[in-house]
Structure 1
Amino acid sequence: MKVVGLITEYNPFHNGHYHHIKEARKLTGADYCIVVMSGNYVQRGAPALMDKYSRTKMALSCGADLVLELPVCFASASAEYFSMGAVSILEGIGVVDSLCFGSECGNIQTLKEASEILLAEPPLFKKVLNDALKTGKTFPQARMEALKVYLKGADDDLFSSPNNILGMEYIKALTSQNSSIEPITIPRISSGYHKDTLNQGNGTIISSATAIRGAVRNGSMLTDLINHVPKEIFHILSASYKKTWPIFEEDFSLLLQYKLMNETKSSLSRYLDVTPDLANRIKSLMEPGLSFAEAAKLMKSKQWTLTRINRSLLHILLNITEDSMNHYKVNGYSQYARILGIKKNSSPLLRTVAKKSRLPLITKVGGMEHKLPKSAESMLKEEFFSTALYNEVVYHKFGVMPKDEYKQGIILQD
């Protein structure tokens, strides 16, 4: 049995993701494809456009055999924690042979060289990094300068393109966890990650998830997306459009205002990614009536990127603390493997995972939180809370209450 693993958000699922699954299976000769997917919140520090169960259905309809949930503490974290959390699941279930990811450069050897430098942090790397930070550059900018010292002649996109950065972090995570999983990359095609307008043309079109979210936000007709998403999933989009999605960060604005009203500069510092300086900035600049996005833009500075601010605000809202992340880190990152969905004909895969997994395998959550080790119980409770909050936002926006974590079973797809 050959198994390929993918780490994803599918926010939302589009033709580029479909291409990724097909190419991953083709390149690796895999019998099965396991997806580790972010739940209701994503790495840029925002709620997912649509809920995790709808996105699970999309993945299973387009070539995934098993979808596992990336716990919210990692799904909403930095590239390093995002990668370590996801890789720890793929490694922990004991059946994955390769990890296939998209990248702008498409060169696995270059990404491996970069990841080795990031992992070793040689003296010159640290010096250039610290010198750049002292000039007021953000950490990603400073790290890019430090990498350039070692990878002379490499294209600037290698150091700044988001999928390249994630690719380096995936390889770094595999190495640090002594994993035998082989990293494989495929070139990202057609549309840049941050391109915010839909590509034009006839037939199958690959546009970025950023562009698709932007089109939805700007009021495009759902039919405008037909050529940008696989036909297998368009009915899923249509069935729940303006019933349970789209959800944006602005829908959490009042909740954020309430949360920040109950926090002090001191208490804010306990949340993941919130330093004392950033806590001061948040309390000083937050004003009544600001939306989530307006607040984040106001707080952005030379020192803190917009994504960093978004993640920090989301961690405050979801009660994700620095202490809890440190605890998970000490205990091997992800504390369980939770199944969101599976293809009905992939039962041999599930049996093998159940036999080989070193992580507790969660198929239903009823009473499960009391059967898990303490750290796993804490992580699952974070998931319950974050999902309940997401569902409340869906209800108050559309008048439809999604099933809670206890009533929503595993998605079984033909």
Structure 2
Amino acid sequence: MKTVGIVVEYNPLHNGHTYHFTEAKRQTASDAVVAVMSGHFLQRGEPAIVNKWARAKMALHMGVDLVLEIPFIYATQNAEQFAFGSIATLHATGIVDEVCFGSESGDIAWIEKLAAILAEEPLAFQETLLKGLAQGRSYPAAYGEAIQALLPSLATDTLQGHVTEPNNILGLNYCLALHRLQSPMRPATIKRQKAGYHQETVTDQSIASATALRKLILEHANNGIHAIRPYVPQSTFEILQAEEAAGRFPLTWERFYPYLQHQLLTRWPEELATIHEMNEGIEHRILQALPRSTSFYHLMETVKTKRYTWARLQRLFLYSMLNLTRSKIAVINAKQGPAYIRVLGFNRTGKRLLKRMKETSTLPVITRVAKDKHPMLTLDVQAGALYALGLPESLRQKEMQREYWQTPLHFDHI
């Protein structure tokens, strides 16, 4: 059974994702699809608008056969670490033949060529990147400039401007991870259609970015789900309706702002300085802004700089809420790759894949969280409990324990 892997967030799953799923399966002539998906918190450091179980259900209804979870420590990192954790998870299954991702360019050739060169970690590239960061550039901008300086021969019309596009950067890092893992999985890409990754406006009758859809949901407080109905599959619409009725949708950073305030206000600057990625004295800027910030959005606007992008700050605040210090990062040892494979859901085909994966996987396959667990999984469980704090009080106690009692979703039983 030929199998293609995809890396997803589905926040929420929309018609553009359906196009990618269908094309990935068609383009690679695959019989089955394995999706590795972010959990409750996402790559840009924000809470998912609806929990991972609802989003896994969306994926299964669309036709994904097996849904796995990207561990928190990778799901909420920069593009390089996010890509490494995602690809390493798919690689460890031993059942995935190809990996297919969306990109702005739709051209795999230059991405593969560039990844092969960067896999050698050329010193000139690292020096140029660090120089750009020291000059106050954002990571994506400095990254793109370092590539163009290193590889003028590739700075053609194909490459010019493409290396700073978000999906192209992710695709490049997916291929880079494949090289570093010496994985037999082959990469493929599909050109992103009609809506850009961060595009906030709707310009098409049936396809819009997840960013635009989340904006529509929040702008139409009493009718948010109906506002996005033309842009999502019927199954997604119905799942969101059910989650809203249950009081679990929608979640935003504002729900967590009081908890963030507490964590920041009760720590000395020296304590905050130990948080993962808290460097260059940014803790002082945060503490100065906190007393006069009336909301999470206000705090972000006050602290944000060219160097500290919106996504980087969100990740930093998320790490602060979890007290994720550099010493904890050292214990988790994420550079060694995922410590397990967590299963979120499957259908009949996925059940066969799961059975085969238990024989081929190089990592433990987890369908139920035990009390004794790896520090990486402990962090996943803590993130799940933290996510529950954003829910209505009547739901929190049960949802805080959901990581322990929720078993993988079986499509036949949904």
AA aligned opposite 2:409: I
Q: Distance in 2 between matches of 1:398 and 1:379?
A: 26
**Does the residue aligned with 1:286 lie in a helix, a strand or coil?**
helix
AA aligned opposite 2:31: D
1:84 to partner: Cα distance? 1.1
Match for residue 349 of structure 1 among 343, 348, 353: 353
What residue number does 2:208 align with? 207
What residue number does 1:222 align with? 225
Tell me if structure 2 keeps the 8 A contact 1:341–1:412: yes
**Does the residue aligned with 1:287 lie in a helix, a strand or coil?**
helix
Tell me if structure 2 keeps the 8 A contact 1:369–1:380: no
Q: Distance in 1 between matches of 2:171 and 2:375?
A: 29
CA RMSD of aligned residues (A): 2.0
1:129 to partner: Cα distance? 2.8
Q: Distance in 2 between matches of 1:271 and 1:228?
A: 39
What residue number does 1:388 align with? 385
Tell me if structure 1 keeps the 8 A contact 2:110–2:159: no
Cα 1:326–1:23, aligned 2, differ >3 Å: closer, same or farther? farther
Q: Distance in 1 between matches of 2:301 and 2:175?
A: 32
For 1:329-340, list aligned pairs within 5 A: 329=333, 332-340=336-344
AA aligned opposite 2:65: D
Tell me if structure 1 keeps the 8 A contact 2:7–2:86: yes
What residue number does 1:81 align with? 81
User: Which is further off, 279-288 or 39-48?
Assistant: 279-288
| Unmatched 5+ stretches in structure 1 | none
Cα 1:330–1:193, aligned 2, differ >3 Å: closer, same or farther? closer
Cα 1:327–1:174, aligned 2, differ >3 Å: closer, same or farther? farther
1:363-403: CA deviation from partner (whole Å, max 9, x where unpaired): 111xx242x5xxxx211111111111211211249889546
Q: Distance in 1 between matches of 2:297 and 2:119?
A: 34
1:276 to partner: Cα distance? 4.3
Is 1:295 aligned to 2:299, yes or no? yes
AA aligned opposite 2:210: A
Q: Distance in 1 between matches of 2:227 and 2:66?
A: 30
User: Which is further off, 256-265 or 392-401?
Assistant: 392-401
What residue number does 1:120 align with? 120
1:27 to partner: Cα distance? 1.3
Q: Distance in 2 between matches of 1:196 and 1:60?
A: 27
1:337 to partner: Cα distance? 0.4
1:248-270: CA deviation from partner (whole Å, max 9, x where unpaired): 01111000000101222222222
1:352 to partner: Cα distance? 0.3
Tell me if structure 2 keeps the 8 A contact 1:340–1:410: yes
Q: Distance in 2 between matches of 1:396 and 1:289?
A: 25
Tell me if structure 1 keeps the 8 A contact 2:342–2:365: yes
Cα 1:134–1:399, aligned 2, differ >3 Å: closer, same or farther? closer
For 1:139-154, list aligned pairs within 5 A: 139-149=139-149, 150=151, 151-153=154-156, 154=158
What residue number does 1:165 align with? 169
- Matched-pair identity in %: 34
**Does the residue aligned with 2:390 lie in a helix, a strand or coil?**
helix
Q: Distance in 2 between matches of 1:78 and 1:134?
A: 18
User: Which is further off, 159-168 or 233-242?
Assistant: 233-242
Q: Distance in 2 between matches of 1:130 and 1:47?
A: 30
Tell me if structure 1 keeps the 8 A contact 2:4–2:96: yes
Q: Distance in 2 between matches of 1:329 and 1:404?
A: 26
AA aligned opposite 2:378: K
Tell me if structure 1 keeps the 8 A contact 2:343–2:366: yes
1:335 to partner: Cα distance? 0.8
| Unmatched 5+ stretches in structure 2 | none
Tell me if structure 1 keeps the 8 A contact 2:143–2:164: no
Q: Distance in 1 between matches of 2:263 and 2:376?
A: 21
Tell me if structure 2 keeps the 8 A contact 1:266–1:276: no
What residue number does 1:232 align with? 235
1:71 to partner: Cα distance? 1.2
Tell me if structure 1 keeps the 8 A contact 2:293–2:299: no
What residue number does 2:363 align with? 359
Is 1:263 aligned to 2:267, yes or no? yes
What residue number does 2:59 align with? 59
1:217 to partner: Cα distance? 1.0
1:5-49: CA deviation from partner (whole Å, max 9, x where unpaired): 111100110011111111111111222211110010001111000
Figure out how many residues of one structure are paired with residues of the other and give that number. 404
Q: Distance in 2 between matches of 1:179 and 1:147?
A: 24
Q: Distance in 1 between matches of 2:109 and 2:335?
A: 30
Q: TM-score, normalised to structure 1's length?
A: 0.92
User: Which is further off, 167-176 or 322-331?
Assistant: 322-331
Tell me if structure 2 keeps the 8 A contact 1:392–1:401: no
AA aligned opposite 2:240: L
Cα 1:125–1:276, aligned 2, differ >3 Å: closer, same or farther? closer
Is 1:250 aligned to 2:254, yes or no? yes
1:124 to partner: Cα distance? 3.8
Tell me if structure 2 keeps the 8 A contact 1:198–1:215: no
For 1:315-330, list aligned pairs within 5 A: 315-329=319-333
Tell me if structure 1 keeps the 8 A contact 2:32–2:349: no
**Does the residue aligned with 1:298 lie in a helix, a strand or coil?**
helix
AA aligned opposite 1:212: L
**Does the residue aligned with 2:343 lie in a helix, a strand or coil?**
strand
1:344 to partner: Cα distance? 3.2
**Does the residue aligned with 2:30 lie in a helix, a strand or coil?**
coil
AA aligned opposite 1:43: Q
Q: TM-score, normalised to structure 2's length?
A: 0.92
Q: Distance in 2 between matches of 1:293 and 1:256?
A: 12
1:120-141: CA deviation from partner (whole Å, max 9, x where unpaired): 3434434433443343222321
Q: Distance in 1 between matches of 2:4 and 2:320?
A: 35
**Does the residue aligned with 1:30 lie in a helix, a strand or coil?**
coil
Tell me if structure 2 keeps the 8 A contact 1:253–1:290: no
Tell me if structure 2 keeps the 8 A contact 1:73–1:320: no
